[in-house]
Every structure is written in C-alpha cells, then in structure tokens.
Amino acid sequence: MKPKITIGICVRNCEDFIKEAIDSIIDQDFPHERMDLIIVDGNSEDKTLSILKQSLEKTSLKHKIFWENKGLGRARQIVVDNASGDYIIWVDGDMILPKNHIKKQVEFMDKNPQVGIAIARHGQIDGESIIAVLENVLFRVYDSKSELVDSRLPGTGGSIYRVKAIRQVGGFDDEIKGAGEDIDAAFRIKEGGWLLKQGSALYYERRVQTWEGVWRKWFGYGFGLYDLYCKNRGVFSLFRMNPLAGVINGFLRIADAYKLIRRKYVILLPFHFAFEMTAWCIGFTNGSVKKGLQKTT
C-alpha cells in the first residue's frame, strides 16, 4: 500500500532529545503501513544516529537514512526528492508528537485540498524553565489568534506540507544553508496560490533553557537569514526585527500571555523579546559582514 504520509527528520547533534522525538512518531495511532520515514543527518558528531537506529530496529516503520553537509536547504530537499507520500510532516529532533498528531494533520489536509501547508498548535511542556516558557508563549498567543496565523509564514517544525505544492514551486533552495529555508519555501508556496492554514493538531517543542542558549539560537537565526534577505527582501521586514520592536511586541502580548498561562513573570516579555532581537540583529550584521568578505576574496 502506498504511504499516505512521509515523515521528514533533518537533524544534527540531537542526542539529548531525539529518542523521545522518534518514539513519539513510532507511537502514533496512524497505520504504520501508510507512513514512511526519511532521516537526513547533517554529519552529527554525537550519538544521534545510533539512537535513531536503535529505536527503529524495534518497529516495522519503513525508513531511509541519508547524509548531507551542505545545510538545511539541501537536507529538506533530500526529503522532498524521496517522499513517496501525499504529504510531508516535518519533525525536528527536539519535538514530541501526541499520539493523534499525524492522524489529525492528514485529516485536515484531506478535507482542505487548497491548503499547501498546515501548521499545528504549540503545546507547553511541564517543568521547563521560565526562559523556555517565555520562548514558547508567543507562539501560543499566535495560535489563539486566527488573524495572526493567516498572516505568518510558518516554519517546518510542526508543519505538514502537500508534496504537490512544494514540488510545484521547485522545492527548497539548496543555497540556503543555516536558517530561513522553510520561510522561503512557505513564501513561494503562498505566492503559488496555495493557502497556509492552521489545523487542530498539537505538538510540543523543547525550548532552550538558558539565556546563553537563547542568544546562540537567535544569533544563528539572524546570521542565517541574511542570505534569505539578499534573495528576497519581501519575505520579512527588517523594521520588525530590532530590539525596540521586541520591547513593543512584548508589551502588546503581556495580557494575552497572562490569560494563557496565568504566570506573573510574563511581565518579562518586553525584556525577553528585546534580548532575542538584539542577538538576531548582531547575527544578521555578522552575516552581512561575512557575505561582504566573501565577495572581496
């Protein structure tokens, strides 16, 4: 029987969380014979691959493993090139899926043939640090407001792609190596006439727990997104990606965040978002400098 859904996992050095991610896929209530799994490893230097192989030995789930060293754009495209299902669900190495995640995502896409990408809703993992909760709560606020959902370009984590849609627009850009390959693909899918929507499925993502981790993460986003900005300046607004915009956004989201989680520390959101945007701007500037140096050599 032809698989209905391909699960795409693009990972590198995820040994701390990859077991719970792969176990949550294996435990899905969607029939295994209608699923296949494509793993693309970016030359992990830890136990990520061995953990994956040990977990998959215990299941009948069909899977293939590939290796790449050219970045996320290439890794995503390997999944697209080898997908045999009608849809691709993207699972990151730090994600956990509830048992009904795949079933709900597939049902939503089957009922909405005009949708190219559907993103799931963010859940909150119990026991995480205040920093991790603040990292996550903005996404939950967006999930609660349909007008914000429809105006966003979703990432791959927690998303289901219609294979026809991503192939129609030429797939992922191999030249985008660090970040933004998913935003670029979503932009082109939307420009191609497909709808980007949100379904009812839920997923959980382990957020960084420390300020150092937040800085590295957002610095990396800014650094990687410089290439995307050079390719298409209409994908995101630089005006919104600065510390002042972070402060304003934080103040605007405090009330909604408090309604969701009932924690007084949401008053820290303006500082938290300003910190993220500072790291992003410095990373973006570094990306610009590196690009300029490459042109002169």
Q: Supply the DSSP string of 105-164, one letter for each residue.
A: HHHHHHH-TTEEEEEEEEP--TT--HHHHHHHHHHHHHHT-HHHHHHS---STTEEEEHH
pLDDT for the residue 268 = 96
- Cβ-contact 6, 86 below 8 angstroms: no
Q: Which of 68-72, 100-104, 148-152 has the lowest mean pLDDT?
A: 148-152
* Extents of the domains making up the chain: 1-128+138-207, 210-290
More confident residue, 148 or 6: 6
CATH entry, 1-128+138-207, from 3.40.1160.10, 3.40.50.2300, 3.90.550.10, 3.65.10.10: 3.90.550.10
Judged against a pLDDT cut of 60, whether residue 95 lies above it is answered with: yes
At 153, the pLDDT band (50, 70, 90 cuts) reads confident
- Average pLDDT of every residue of the chain: 90
CA dist 146 and 200 (Å) reads 12
List the strands of the sheet with 159-162, edge to edge: 62-67, 35-41, 5-11, 87-90, 159-162, 115-122, 195-205, 95-96
Of 58-62, 95-99, 145-149, 255-259, where does mean pLDDT reach its minimum? 145-149
pLDDT of residue 182: 92
The string of pLDDT tens digits covering residues 178-209 is 788 999 999 999 999 999 999 999 999 999 99
Question: What six digits make up the tokens of 7?
Answer: 């699960």
Please state, in angstroms and rounded to a whole number, the distance separating the CA atoms of residues 106 and 86. Answer: 9
What pLDDT score was predicted for residue 230? 84
pLDDT at 71: 86
Percent of the chain with pLDDT over 70: 95
